[in-house]
Amino acid sequence: MTAPARTSAPTALWVLRILGAALLAAMGWIHLDLWLDGYKSIDVIGPAFLLNTVGGFGLAALLLVTPRRFLPWVAALGALFCAGTLGALIISTTVGLFGFVETTAAALWWESFWVELAGVVVLGALAVLAARRRPS
């Protein structure tokens, strides 16, 4: 009876790992696409988009290769990274960020919003689930 429960938790962890990595990579790709599309010429915002690209792809790779004992920390870091990016998007849309004001009509705004929000939820859930379950 306990065997299915023991195998379903590692499966759930891997599903969340892969989904979380895909969301981080998607966030990185969105920022790279926007950077290449002209955001690179915006002071502070341009370099931040490039750093977000590196961070998104780097965390996606790290999430897939990290040992099980460090998974809660890497997942939490990914969730915080997504939350920070989402916060910056909302701030730039409402009051502006570093002198730059974004609009929801901008290219990939909504895609970015949903990917970042999903990243917070998925990676947050992964961090909690991985922390609750001891390595076997």
Residue 79 within any structural domain of the chain: yes
pLDDT attached to residue 4: 52
Range of the domain at 110: 23-132
pLDDT attached to residue 7: 54
The H or E element that residue 88 is part of is helix 71-94
**Contact by Cβ (8 Å): 93, 102:** yes
Residue 12 within any structural domain of the chain: no
Residue 14 within any structural domain of the chain: no
Q: Whole-number mean pLDDT of the chain?
A: 92
Residue 81 within any structural domain of the chain: yes
Residue 7 within any structural domain of the chain: no
Mean pLDDT calculated for residue range 115-132: 97
Residue 10 within any structural domain of the chain: no
What is the value of pTM for the model shown? 0.90
Domain count, the chain: 1
For residue range 81-108, list pLDDT tens digits in order: 999 999 999 999 999 999 999 999 999 9
For residue range 30-74, list pLDDT tens digits in order: 999 999 999 999 999 999 999 999 999 999 999 999 999 999 999
pLDDT attached to residue 118: 98
DSSP 8-state code for residue 100: B
The residue among 82, 48, 50, 47 whose CA lies nearest residue 63 is 82
Q: Using the predicted structure, report yes or no on whether residue 133 has a pLDDT greater than 80.
A: no
DSSP 8-state code for residue 104: T
Q: Using the predicted structure, report yes or no on whether residue 131 has a pLDDT greater than 70.
A: yes
